[in-house]
Amino acid sequence: MSKKKSFLRSPCAIANSLDILGDRWSLLVVRDLLQGKQTYTELAESREHIPTNILADRLKRLEAAGIISRNEYQRRPTRYVYALTPKGAELRDVLRAMVAWGTKHIPGTLVMTQRPKN
């Protein structure tokens, strides 16, 4: 089935990236997954205290956008591990640029390299 490409706002790569990632939380979830977090509980424990309803929403949206994948690792209760897809992992460069900008221009900010406890 061929379908005419339609964009929410324009064909601009930046506008379309922001339609997926343009909020205060999505890229923090990507940051945490890049740093090795895998479970909902680990993601919820981050220092920014993401509200759990927002975390659940962002995980769904990132999965729908092909940025993360979700795999069941336990039943009763069902639990999932989350991981970046190759598409998601390549957001690394966006985050690196943001870290470089932030640490240079927002006094006191840091590169946070928190890793999950093993």
Binding site for its own copies (CB under 8 A): 5, 7, 9-20, 22-25, 27-28, 31, 47-49, 66, 87, 90-91, 93-112
CA distance 109 to 85: 28
Least distance to its own copies, CB of residue 72, Å: 26
Q: Please identify, using beta-carbon distances, which residue of 28 and 43 lies nearer to its own copies.
A: 28
Least distance to its own copies, CB of residue 68, Å: 13
CA distance 35 to 28: 11
CA distance 69 to 114: 22
Q: Please identify, using beta-carbon distances, which residue of 54 and 80 lies nearer to its own copies.
A: 54
The SS3 call for residue 98 is helix
The SS3 call for residue 105 is helix
Least distance to its own copies, CB of residue 105, Å: 5
